Structure 1
Amino acid sequence: MNDNKFAIDILWLNKTAQASNGLKHGDYRRYHLYCTRKLHRLRKALKWTQGRGRFVKRKIGEEEVVSKGGGRSDVRFLWLVLLQAERAWSHGMELKEEAALLQNSKKRMSTRRKRRWPLRKWTKAALWARHLERLCSSIGAPTKTILEAQAYAQLMAGNALLERKQWKASQESFQRAYYILEKLEQTKGTSAQQRHIYRQYIQEMEPSVRYCRYQLTKLQLEENSDNQALFVAELEGQLNRLESELQAKENGASILSVEWRGTRIPIANRRIQQCLQRIVEQENDRDENDITKLEKIISLYMQCIRLVSKEWEQLTITEMDKQIGEEFAMLKAYFVSNRVQLALRRNVLIWNNLESNHVVSWRQRIRLVEHCIKLCEEILQLKDFQNDAESNKYWSQRKQFFRAYRCFYLASYLSSRHMWTESYLSSKKALEDLKQISKEDLRDNWIQEHIDSLQEKITRQACLSKAYAFLDEIRLADKWNELKLDDSTCSVSFNAPLINRLHEIVLPNSFERLAKDWKMIDLQPSFMKVPCKPFLFDIASEELSFPDMSLFVNEGNKSVEDTNAKKGLLGRAVSWFSGKK
């Protein structure tokens, strides 16, 4: 029987590695270097290095793949063979591009070397791909892995034969690969992501098939239909075996697909399949009132949502068609819907415990109801529920019911704080929310059981809040009357602006008088007494004439110059040191 531990998605691994490492832009050298580095890392991880002694070629056979590491199998040996084929193929394409660039330059390669070197690389790639196919068949890999290995080997062989101009053999190899990929694409249980990868390989192969057919028509050669018929017969047997394996997996322990709103969605990710299997096991052993089991199942659904989102982000690197995006959106909506329903069921159980325990504060109850409202909003944002009128109406009613409960809890909390007016307004808002829910269209049994009791609670709370609000007004009036204030005790200067008499008391019987002549502020401020500045001299200073003082200033300067002139050099030095300048 085939073993799932040797399952490997050969074509998907190739496409993702090529798109992430240069081939998206036609950079074969970058992809060749990536394959070399990856091979080195895998050899070190598997301890499959040559060492420093004499070189001895180490072949990867069935014994190494199955019994390496103390009887444990390791699928990474298949990766080694696959990377060897990819490295040889990318090296040949790199050499072909270099030869095309050097064709018209002075450093031109010889014609014989230019042809033989890439051909040797493509032949080596075909041999490694053939070796991978034999390994998958001998170790008991799943039928899907064997078929992908056969398609990959035929594709590599067709590329090598096409470069050698063997048109007939190349066309047969391409047609076999084309037929295998087409059947795999049509197989039931193939995800949209895998169908997209198969379609990409088919589209890349079609120009080569047309070119071979064109060359054969020029040479007037006929196609050999006997070999093709034998190959198709063998392939039909493998495809029937693949369908039986998929049917056995669906009926067995593993979960390969889920159904969402009448659509069957295949699941290719093994980690998601494992999470779904654990969810089924937990649900079979779960008690309806066990909150801890519900928490475990909710965490598993959250893990599935993270895995789907991560795989969706990784696929944005490659070209993803519309069908794959819709499939991922439907799968994510399936997990979100189940998680929301379980979370609401858990919240209802916690709710019942809180209702029986009167010690719990109102804030905890409000927080729990707000979480229920967020869950309803989350499921209403899904595209599938927005397009479905019945589901949208169902979840909108549940959201409206939880909003009414939140207003009721808020009113109860405000009444405990003696905020009667606010409590009455919250109760009124809760009654308005309940009126928007039509009892005839209700499909939720839990809401039908609680909607009448909730309406009674809200009505009772509204009446109490309104009664206590009236009592507070009466008490306030009594306290006001106890002050015994009248016009004689109230010293209100009505002519003064309000900004200057904010501290004064105004009695109700003075309101009419105050409304007739009142001023908030003085728009024209009153004058203030300030000392006057004698600005007369400043104005008359331009008309005054002052005496000429230049004569007195010049005479003083001349007397100083005469004394300095009369002194000689010795006199000046003595006066300097004595301090008399």
Structure 2
Amino acid sequence: MSEPSSPTEQVVPVVKEKFHLDILNLSQTSQIQFGIRLQDYQKYRQYCSKRLDRIRGQLRKQYGKKQFINKVTDAKLINDSRYLVIALLKAERAWSYANDLKAAFEKKGDSRIAFHMSRRFSKAASNADQLLMICKEVADQYTIVEAEAYAAWMNSSNSIVKKYYQNALDEISASKQIYVELAKSGDHAQKDLYEKRIEESEPIIRFCLYNLKSKQEPEPSEEIEELLNQLKSSDSNNTSSDQELPMQLITWKSKTIKTDEKLREKLVIYSDYLKANQSKLPQTQSDIQTLDLTKNISQIFEVYDKLVYHLINCENIIKNELSALIRTNLKNKTVKSEIEESSQKILLSFVLYHKCKYLYERNTILIRMMQGVLEGEKVDESAIKKKANKVTYNDLVRLSTHQVKVFTILNDSKDDPTAAQKDVARDNDAQLILLKSQRLFFIGICLSNSHKYSETMSLFDRVLTNLANVKKTNTRNQLILSETSKLEESINQQRSQIHANSFIQQLSTNQDLKNQMSSMSLTSGTTGPTKSLINNLDSFETSFLQEKNLVDLPPQLEPVPVKPLFFDLAFNNVSFPTLDIGKSTPKKSSSTSTPSTPNTQDKSTPSKGLFSSFWGR
């Protein structure tokens, strides 16, 4: 006989782990990848059946004729999240079959097809209700809310087919309100899915209101209101916890993205360092152009380098996560993973923008200092020696090339321009052309130092063309316009110097020109005054007062090969002699002719010869 248990002994209940399932993400991803995008409901139904067989095989729950196995309908027996996937796929399979039958009914109009379609929609709604019942027992709060919205959506589709428009309106309105709250509380990856679902519910609501001849949506039921209140309370708790963490949410390109803990720590380090050293940096481009280059430049460069270092650390973290997401999407792409990938790209553009911004400002100051060193101005040489031991124009070419790349990335990564920022976009285009012109100018000076004067002149012509394009952009930025005018002045100075250097080079290489220049003398000329210019200030040239003949009139006669003047007159009025004399007389017959010797010829017969036709005979 067993001993009775003591009253102090208590049984500790085992708390089961709550399962989580992204219902909308899973259903939307499967629909897009397997036929619904092309309205191929049969393909999607076949996919659902095959996946159900695979999951049941993994769970050892294959139902067949050889061995009887009870279906798992009790929530207490569910010990795996794949049971939730089975319930979801059953609802999706029935829904796709119903839509396939609906398309066939619209073509043929058979009443049996309509009856079968109605049965399939009812099956989809009952499977969705079964999914909701299971989720209420074994799933977390977020999954329960999604299952509630999914079941309401399926029930509204079933009610519309059966023309129960009031019930359909209540269900679709409840689904829409749940998705609205989920869009407010969810992360960025799920938010786009919920907003798309909200847009899809709008025409269904209008259709139900039209059939009911109503203009107002119904209010949510008490059960839905209680569910929404729970969701709002959990959302408020999460929001309060998020507000305590800095750099938890990043807003960029009209998107608010939640960062993970590893990236957030690096961004906090960057933000704290920026706040501590913000006063040491110039705030605008005009401040950079008016910056005193003789003192405290080393400290400014140190701050810029440190900021860029922190942002590079953030960039490496984002790139690693982005590459992992890309590899995952190559194998198994989902709607959620695509949204996460786009979110990581937006975060990367946020980091790249700020990194390139500080690099651009630092390089602008460094280029100014190097130009000052080459022109002999006084600058903070300690900051220059850290970057280069000896400054040459080759260093300026390298820096200006890097500056063009940095500014291009800066434009691509900036926040989305609006209609009010058209002037900013126009100034950015002008600034990019100006940077390329400065780079070509430095390359031209390097070619000039290498005694390649023709190439230098062609480059300077290209620079002047670019500067003309800068003015065509109609930019109103005075800083860009002043830099453009300064560059034009520098080019004109360099062109004059290059002309002189090119002539000297030709003089040293061309022997004939060298001999001509050596033979020139200021005193060897016979014409002109022999006195110096200062002694001829009172003497004036009076030869212009004499008469000068510009043209000799009348001009000298010269033979000109032209047509005779009276040729036509002579041709029309002068009669030519007749040519009848030259015509031959007809021959006499042989009977009347007198015999003669063969060597004799009649004197009346004109003589013929080789040129008789030419002479008219």
User: Normalising by the residue count of structure 1, what TM-score does the alignment of the two structures yield?
Assistant: 0.54
Q: Map residues 326-405 of structure 1 onto 2, 5 A cutoff.
A: 336=349, 339-343=352-356, 345-346=358-359, 352=366, 356-357=387-388, 366=397, 368-377=399-408, 384=417, 388-396=421-429, 398-405=431-438
- 1:414 and 2:401 correspond: no
Mark the CA change 1:397 to 1:26 in structure 2 (over 3 Å): closer, same or farther. closer
- Structure with the greater alpha carbon radius of gyration: 2
Which stretch has the larger CA shift, 471-480 or 433-442? 433-442
Deviation at 1:378, TM superposition (A): 5.9
Q: Distance in 1 between matches of 2:251 and 2:324?
A: 16
The answer for unaligned runs of 5 or more in structure 1 is 69-74, 218-224, 312-316, 319-324, 485-581
Is 1:151 the equivalent of 2:149?
yes
Across the two proteins, how many residue pairs are aligned to each other? 432
Map of 1:30 onto structure 2 = 43
Find the partner of 1:131 among 127, 130, 133.
133
Paired amino acid for 1:50:
K
Q: Report the counterpart of residue 258 of structure 1 in structure 2.
A: 251
Q: Deviations over 1:339-369 (max 9, x none)?
A: 2452353466679589942579966753553
Aligned match of 2:230: 238
Alpha-carbon separation, structure 1, partners of 2:491 and 2:194: 56
Query: Could you tell me how far apart the structure 2 residues matched to 1:308 and 1:369 are?
Result: 35
CA pair 56-348 structure 1, distance change in 2 beyond 3 A: same
Choose the corresponding residue for 1:55, options 69, 78, 99: 69
Whether the 8 Å contact between 1:89 and 1:125 is mirrored in structure 2 is: no
Deviation at 1:19, TM superposition (A): 4.2
Instruction: State the distance in 2 between where 1:277 and 1:304 align.
Output: 14
| Identity over aligned pairs, percent | 17
Superposition deviation, residue 280 in structure 1: 2.1
Q: Secondary structure at the match of 1:418?
A: coil
Q: What SS does the corresponding residue of 2:417 show, helix, strand or coil?
A: helix
> Structure 1 residue 472 and structure 2 residue 505: aligned?
yes
Cα offset, 1:265, TM superposition: 2.7
Going from structure 1 to structure 2, the CA distance change for 1:43 and 1:405 (only over 3 Å counts) comes to farther
- SS of 1:152's equivalent? helix
Counterpart-to-counterpart distance in 1, 2:430 and 2:183: 43
Tell whether 2:82 aligns with 1:89: no
Residue identity matched to 2:255: I
Letter in 1 for 2:251: V
User: Match for residue 525 of structure 1?
Assistant: none
- Separation in 1 of the partners of 2:485 and 2:319? 35
Deviation per CA, 1:123-146, whole angstroms, max 9, x where unpaired?
5423333235415xx54343xx54
Measure how far apart 1:237 and its partner are. 1.3
Distance 1:388 1:329 in 2: 24
Question: TM-score, length-normalised on structure 2?
Answer: 0.52
Listed one character per residue, the Cα deviations across residues 425-481 of structure 1 (whole Å, up to 9, x for unaligned) are 64687689789799995679xx99x99999998788667645532321331345655
Matches within 5 A, 1:423-438: 423=456, 426=459
Whichever structure has more helix as a proportion of its residues is 1
1:66-99 per-position Cα deviation (integer Å, ceiling 9, x unaligned): xx6xxxxxx7664444223212333455567778
CA RMSD of aligned residues (A): 5.9
Tell me: CA distance 1:200–1:166, structure 2 relative to 1, closer, same or farther (3 Å).
closer
1:100 to 1:378, Cα distance in 2 relative to 1, 3 A: closer
274, 280, 283: which is aligned to 2:267?
Answer: 280
CA distance in 2, matches of 1:194, 1:455: 57
1:34-49 matches, cutoff 5 A: 34-41=47-54, 47-49=58-60
- 1:172-571 matches, within 5 Å, as 172-181=170-179, 191=191, 194-204=194-204, 207=207, 213=212, 229-231=221-223, 233-241=225-233, 243-245=235-237, 247-248=239-240, 250-251=242-243, 253=245, 255-256=248-249, 258-260=251-253, 264-267=254-257, 277=264, 280-281=267-268, 283-284=270-271, 288-290=304-306, 292-298=309-315, 336=349, 339-343=352-356, 345-346=358-359, 352=366, 356-357=387-388, 366=397, 368-377=399-408, 384=417, 388-396=421-429, 398-423=431-456, 426=459, 441=477, 465-478=498-511, 480-481=513-514
Q: How many Å separate the matches in 1 of 2:310 and 2:114?
A: 73
Deviation at 1:403, TM superposition (A): 2.5
Output the CA distance in 2 between the equivalents of 1:418 and 1:357.
25
Structure 1 SS opposite 2:251: strand
